[in-house]
Amino acid sequence: MNVQIFSATEDHADDWTEIFLKGMKSCRWMKKYLNRLNITEYDVKMSFLEDLKTKTLDEQLLIAYVDGFPAGIIRFDSYFISGANKIISHFPLLHPRYQRKGIGKELVKKGIIIAYENGIKEIWAESWALNKKEINSYRSFFEKIGFESKSYRLEMNCSTSLFSAEKNEVRNDIEIFSSNEISTEMINIISQAYSNSKDLLHEIENLGDPAVTESFLNRTKEIFESLGFEVNCLIAKYKDNLCAGLLTATTKNKGMILEIGVLPEYRGKRIAWHMINQYISKMKKQRISEVVLGVDENNAPAIKLYEKLGFQRTWFGHLMLLVDKTKLGLNNDYEKSSV
């Protein structure tokens, strides 16, 4: 079996599209999901070509051929953590004919070698699925090639059509200020709040460091604005004292809560409840159908709050870090040496 892996170009668009659709549809729930969204070959091809145009120097789209036939694809994106790459959800994707033949491992290995040659220091893998069984299959694959679980995630969704205005409450002790810019106050609030957080991702990303938080928030804003979202920074004062920050992203059909943090001394005063309530109410008035957010599966207090506000669990996520390169045939101190 002769395996060749290339950096994908426009010439690979048709093969990329074929692998993507056949690989996705080999999973029953994903086939239903794609059919429900009515995603066509044209949609996938145009998305791939657009990704080629916009990808940064440290992002990769790789395609594998076996004896000349298109077999698999993988995508490495830049990550919010400085010096890190992330294998995005559902990748590597394999044509059903070439599943369980080691092609996925070879795609991961090739991408990691290129990433290290480009100065990347950490490789993460993120997976999302509508059920835990599918997430466990991703976890099993990545564990076998040297990745270690770091955080289990949830995506939660609130349908604004089911949101009741009766949940709103008047709070004369809280003032909320909105801006399109990431302010110093926002950076400090989020950094302090996340330094004492039950969400493992905040620790992983070292968001207790204000300098890291500043880079993280600005990078988040840049990414979502490039996707067509309007990003807003909201800061709350409780009895004239800065107490909380909320970062949102909004399009014509979706609202997203990207980050929310309440300073430790102001927790338990329903400040996060009030801020999220106000945002959902605004989305409903604008006839935006849903608001989504992400949270660590083990962050029980936050999940309890979100569920009381009307959020439901919709997607299960899993974040893993490469810790043992030897399972890929690389030395653990491998960076730029050839293999």
Compute the half-sphere exposure of residue 15: CA atoms within 13 Å on the CB side of its CA.
22
Q: How far apart are CA 306 and CA 271, in angstroms?
A: 13
At 336 the pLDDT is: 47
Does residue 318 register a pLDDT over 70?
A: yes
Q: How far apart are CA 244 and CA 262, in angstroms?
A: 4
Report which of residues 289 and 37 the model is more confident about.
289
Identify the CA nearest to 181 among candidates 135, 145, 217.
217
At 337 the pLDDT is: 46
Cis before 70? omega within 30: no
Express each pLDDT in 59-105 by its tens digit: 999 999 999 999 999 999 988 777 899 999 999 999 999 999 999 99
- Span 166-187, average pLDDT: 86
Does residue 178 register a pLDDT over 90?
A: yes
Best CATH choice for the domain 3-146+323-328 from the list 3.20.20.140, 3.40.30.10, 3.50.50.60, 3.40.630.30: 3.40.630.30
How many residues does the structure list for the chain? Answer: 339
Q: Please write down the long-range contacts of 36-39, taking CB distance under 8 Å and 24 or more positions apart.
A: none
Does residue 338 register a pLDDT over 50?
A: no
- Domain positions in the chain: 3-146+323-328, 158-315
SS3 of residue 178 by DSSP: strand
The pTM for the full model equals: 0.84
Residue 132: band (very low, low, confident or very high) from pLDDT cuts 50, 70, 90: confident
Q: Exposed (0-12), middle (13-18) or buried (19+): which is 154, by Cβ within 10 Å?
A: buried
Lowest mean per-residue pLDDT among 156-165, 177-186, 244-253: 156-165
Fold of 158-315: Aminopeptidase (3.40.630)
At 262 the pLDDT is: 96
* CB 138 within 8 Å of CB 268: no
Residue 78: CB partners within 8 Å, gap ≥ 6?
Answer: 56, 58, 59, 84, 85, 86
